[in-house]
Structure 1
Amino acid sequence: MPQPTRVSMSMVAQRAGVSGQTVSRVANDSPRVDPQTRARVEKAMAELGYRPNRAARALRTGRTQTLGLVAQTLATVGNSRMLQAVAEAAASRGYALTVLTLGADADIDEAFDRLRDQGVDGAIVLNEATALARDAASAGLRLVVIDSPPDERFTVVGTDHAAGARAATEHLLASGHATVHHLAGPAGSFAAAERERGWREALAVAGVEPPEVARGDWSAASGHDLVRRMPASGVTAIFAANDQMALGALRALAESGRRVPDDVAVIGFDDIADAAQFQPPLTTVRQDFDVLGEQAVGRLVSWIEGEHPADLMLAPTLVRRASS
């Protein structure tokens, strides 16, 4: 069976009525092409199914058009959504994506070495891995870190988790609850620590002594177990550090005969795709994973192209539903 003919730059040039050099400039994102000509060349590329040769481009530009992504795990809903958002944003800019998960061993230095060996142009580090990145030998890698304290070595993109947690806690207090119990995320997670901080700050402003924190691992099973072991009396409001733990809390409350929100109000964090389908629909704090991924990739590409971009903090939104 004959192999399909690879579309060449000269074929694109002939279709667009331009020189091969002009096609090369468009393929390499050169600014030295006027918009009308660029549009004509891009139209010809699309019609012919032209795909740039990455190896040849890397030799010409010193770039591989490949980004790295490092995560502790992709098993959590938040990390899997971030992976999807980053992958789509990278593809829209013509970049491939190499993904490394650290697993239980958490050797981020080895992960960075592997990315350097593969010649990535830069990398994005997700959530729990950010604490490790601050102590890693990241020299030579352009890094955008999702959810981290400011660090001059990185560009940081994140959600204002503390502000979201404050809004959730204030909403519950304003609804008449004397206090709010917190299902916290795992120790060592920057996002979990910031959400706990926001919860504590809202209680402090209201003059309320915070109850003992119940610490989970982001999973629905941990939320279920923590709430199942809570006392039946004295708990009227729960702020969970993510929607999965809130889901486990709803199940534990239903099993004990406590009604939501009549007996216990529940708020989560993230606004995952199914949060509105929980029973009852979950009040939660929405962080926009699509915008996070888009901004992380955009800033990394800007850095690759010579501009060290500023940090960015995105404001979350409290989404009120029936659970509170």
Structure 2
Amino acid sequence: MTTDTDRPAEPERVRAPNIRDVARVAGVSYQTVSRVLNDSPSIRPETLQRVRDAIAELGYRPNQAARALVTSRSRTIGVLGAQTVHYGPATSLHAIETSAREAGYRLSITNISSSDYTSIKSGLDYLMSQSVEALIVIAPQVRVFEAINDLQVGVPYVTLEATGLGTSHSLWVDQVTGARRATKHLIDLGHTEIMHISGPQDWIEAEARMQGFLRELSDADLRTRAPILGDWTASFGYYAGLELLRFRDFSAVFAGNDQMALGLIHACRELGLDVPGDISVVGFDDIPEASHFSPPLTTVRQNFAEIGRRAIELLLGELRGETGLSHEPVQPELVIRESTAPHR
């Protein structure tokens, strides 16, 4: 028979530190700690540092829900996303989360299943129910932004898009300029017959990159060909490459993203063609694997970390009531590697 004395003693539960513990270690009142947590400007620098040191020492984490009740501020930024599984949107989201956390904010994220009006409104309604202080929209289709403009968004918001319309709510990487730089690089290498494998027709980035490609060819007085509409996948680049290379009346290809460029290189290798000896290939995005393709891929790099940082900077500026905030586009960078060479 087992008695109470035979049972092992339950381990004593460790209590999470609270605001009064922080006050005791810092040698201040708990009201002072509260003012520090709420970013009060009246705290002396030495007191602020003592409180921060105590918070770090104890591993104290403020109760966000309780703070929201006291301050009427949720310190939450909503993110409305669509197709964030793709490299570009997913990387932007990561950068936004990092920048928000550094600024003392957290994210509430919802992904819409489709770009119809009902789905977009449902996503917005959900985020507003979370008492978000501001909103970021990451979506690739034009109709998503058209719906956002029609709906009444009652908080500061910024849209990550590539239309280049320069609205007071937009922030974007200059996709047209990136595409022009990629195309000009091929032209400067002596290529005059250049193909473009585009992304999906209803994607803003795909349309912008296509326009940049066509404008650069037109400015160089070169023949323009109808772009091939793809779906961003390596599989599409591979099968499109097999079809295009049956005739091979071109010497270079600008692919709308790095994955389609990878598929195209695969098709070239399978048909016994050398990249860049027979076909030069340029991609777009500079995914982490691009420098490890065979050959390493020439591509256009987008600074997703800068986009995330600037999106949060814009929103915080609006929340503070600042005016004249910069909406200048982020400039892309052409990264030249070994998949392009002079035309022979």
Distance 2:45 2:205 in 1: 42
Q: State the SS of the aligned residue for 2:196.
A: strand
Q: 1:297 aligns with which of 312, 315, 322?
A: 312
Give the distance between the partners of 2:108 and 2:85, measured in 1 at CA.
Answer: 17
Deviation, structure 1 residue 13: 1.8
Q: Return the alpha-carbon distance in structure 1 between the equivalents of residues 307 and 39 of structure 2.
A: 24
Does residue 222 in structure 1 map to residue 236 in structure 2?
A: yes
1:198 positional shift? 1.1
Residue 151 (structure 1) shift: 6.4
Q: Secondary structure of 2:43's partner?
A: coil
- Indicate the residue corresponding to 2:4 in structure 1: none
Aligned residue in 1 for 2:145? 133
Helix, strand or coil at the partner of 1:21? helix
Give the aligned residue type for 2:110: L
1:207 aligns with 2:225: no
Given that 1:227 and 1:253 are in contact with CA atoms closer than 8 Å, whether structure 2 keeps it comes out as: yes
The one-letter code matched in structure 2 to 1:323 is: S
Moved more, 241-250 or 82-91: 82-91
Asked if the contact 2:120/2:147 (under 8 Å) is kept, the reply is: no
| Counterpart-to-counterpart distance in 1, 2:166 and 2:183 | 29
Structure 1: tracts of 5 or more residues without a match: none
* Counterpart among 88, 92, 101 of residue 111 in structure 2: 101
Q: From 315, 324, 333, give the equivalent of 1:317.
A: 333
Is 1:92 the counterpart of 2:102? The answer is yes
- Which of the numbers 297, 303, 313 marks the counterpart of 1:282? 297
The CA distance in 1 between the partners of 2:185 and 2:66, in whole Å, is 57
Unpaired runs of at least 5, structure 2: 1-10
Classify the secondary structure of the residue corresponding to 1:313. coil
Matches of 2:135 and 2:56, distance apart in 1: 29
The percentage of counterpart residues that share the same residue type is 37
Q: Which amino acid letter does the alignment assign opposite residue 309 of structure 2? A: E
Residues of 1 paired with 2:166 and 2:71: CA distance?
Answer: 29
Q: Out of 183, 193, 216, which is 1:169 matched to? A: 183
Q: Give the 5 Å matches for 1:1-324.
A: 1-104=11-114, 106=116, 107-129=119-141, 131-136=143-148, 137-149=151-163, 150=165, 152=167, 155-230=169-244, 231-307=246-322, 309-324=325-340
* Cα distance change on mapping 1:244 and 1:53 into 2, 3 Å: same
Q: Which shows bigger deviation, 108-117 or 88-97?
A: 88-97
Q: Does 159-168 or 184-193 show the bigger shift? A: 184-193
**Partners of 1:68 and 1:143 in 2: CA distance:** 9
**2:302 and 2:232 mapped to 1: Cα distance?**
16
Q: Classify the secondary structure of the residue corresponding to 1:315.
A: coil
Shift in Å, 1:76: 0.9
**179 and 127 in structure 1: CA distance in 2 versus 1, 3 angstrom threshold:** farther
Find runs of 4+ consecutive structure 1 residues off by over 6 angstroms: none
Larger Rg: 2
Q: Which amino acid aligns with 1:115?
A: L
TM (norm. structure 1) is 0.93
Which stretch has the larger CA shift, 56-65 or 196-205? 56-65
3-state SS of 2:121 partner: helix
Q: When the two structures are superposed, what TM-score results if normalisation uses the length of structure 2?
A: 0.88
Task: State the 1:111 CA deviation.
Answer: 0.4
Distance in 2 (CA, whole Å) between partners of 1:22 and 1:129 is 48
CA deviation digits over 1:170-189, x for unaligned, max 9?
01001011132111111122
The one-letter code of the counterpart of 2:263 is G
Give distance in 1, aligned partners of 2:70 and 2:320.
Answer: 15
Distance 1:4 1:303 in 2: 42
